Amino acid sequence: MRLTHGHYCEIIRYIWCTKPIIQINVFMRRNLIMAASAVMAMVAVPALAQNSRIVEEGGSGPYKAIMMEESTLTTHTIFRPQDLSKFDKKNLLPVLVWGNGGCANSPSGHINFLNEVASQGFLIVAIGPSNYQQIEAPRPGQTGDVPRMGGMGGGMPQMGGGMPGGMGGQRPEGAPQGGMPRMGMGGGMPGGMGGGMPQMGGGMPGGMGGGMSMGDPEGLKQALEWAIAQNADKNSPYYQKLDIDNIGAAGMSCGGLQALHMLDDARIKTIMVMNSGFFGSEESEDKASLAKMKQKSVIWILGGSTDIAWDNGNDDFKRMSGSMPACLVSLDGIGHGGTYMQPNGGDYAKVAGAWLKWWLKGDKEASTMFTGAEPGVSKMAGWSIERKNIK
């Protein structure tokens, strides 16, 4: 039987108004009321999904978020508002697909950031399962499996938000590679360098980098297709609640390269390249592809001149031509590690959240962070901004 508020009132009324054979003293009455209140509290709070976690009390946005696994996509982690009943055809959830630092197969180094953005009213599908045990022996260059949900922590400072304690992003059999470099080198650096060298998508033993072409976007493509399918599935909790016309791709470091490699997919409306950029300053296939982007906008979010991706990101931005709105913002001195694991994702969550609300929700107030004679970003301590085709 499902207890209602009416049942609760009846319990309290019985305790105070009836006179059983054995007189209930005041102390016992108080205990019974406390017990009844505890029962009602359990009834009032919906049960959390299996393999779920509330991060930072759900974030600071208007829609308290949850980090969870979906049985229909166990190779990825979902960040979304807890209460989906608030979303319908008149208030749809835009989608963001996310690639991790080091192209790691876990979002553990970015959970505060992703949770905070989700609390602004977004469904985020991040590469990597939320919770699994190692089921195969580590390959050379790997030191273990993704941490279980109860132990997820922040990334190594300045090292691309990888997994703590040498967790090398082990991939379970049958799972998507989550964007390991196309030459297929595995996992993280030994000795605690989480999720591989910055931007290198899983370094080789002893610090040797991966292949020449980094950031395979297969994991992001799977996330995109899953979200679209869920919106069309009448049996899905996301049925007709997702805004599949407003989808973004984003990622940090090597994950940013994964996002950039989605530039030929017109279903992606905006791309956020965070602490990342195509390698080098010489002409290459990747650099040339920037002129063929099919998105409506793109932003680079960097960590100042000490960010290992500083030159790459700046070179990419300078190469942007044509009419596409493009932006480069940077937080001086924060370096490659960003603010992902600061409380509520730090300044990065504020900037990225505003960009997504502007481009995926049409939020005019959020757009003022990047538009006008004095954009909001320029007023934030330590931040700078460059723009193309944005007034």
Burial 264-294 (b: 16+ CB within 10 A, else e): ebeebbbbbbbbbbbbeeeeeebbeebeebe
Instruction: Give the pLDDT score at 386.
Output: 98
CA 211 – CA 231 distance, rounded (Å):
36
pLDDT < 50 regions, the chain: 1-29, 32-33, 36-47, 132-213
Instruction: Give the pLDDT score at 48.
Output: 53
pTM of the model: 0.73
Instruction: Give the pLDDT score at 282.
Output: 82
Residue 294's SS3 state is coil
- What are the residues whose beta carbons fall under 8 Å from the beta carbon of 230, sequence distance 6 or more? 72, 236, 238, 239, 242
Instruction: Give the pLDDT score at 119.
Output: 98
- What are the residues whose beta carbons fall under 8 Å from the beta carbon of 58, sequence distance 6 or more? 64, 65, 66, 82, 115, 119
Evaluate whether 176 touches 75 at the Cβ level (below 8 Å). Answer: yes
User: What's the pLDDT tens digit per position in 240-252?
Assistant: 999 999 999 999 9
Residue type, 364: K
| Strand-pair partners of 70 | 73
Instruction: Give the pLDDT score at 161.
Output: 38
Take residue 314 and report the two structure tokens written for it: 């700046």
Burial 325-334 (b: 16+ CB within 10 A, else e): bbbbbbbeeb
Instruction: Give the pLDDT score at 280.
Output: 80
User: What's the pLDDT tens digit per position in 42-60?
Assistant: 433 344 556 899 999 999 9
Instruction: Give the pLDDT score at 356.
Output: 98
Instruction: Give the pLDDT score at 31.
Output: 52
Instruction: Give the pLDDT score at 40.
Output: 41
Take residue 139 and report the two structure tokens written for it: 């390959």
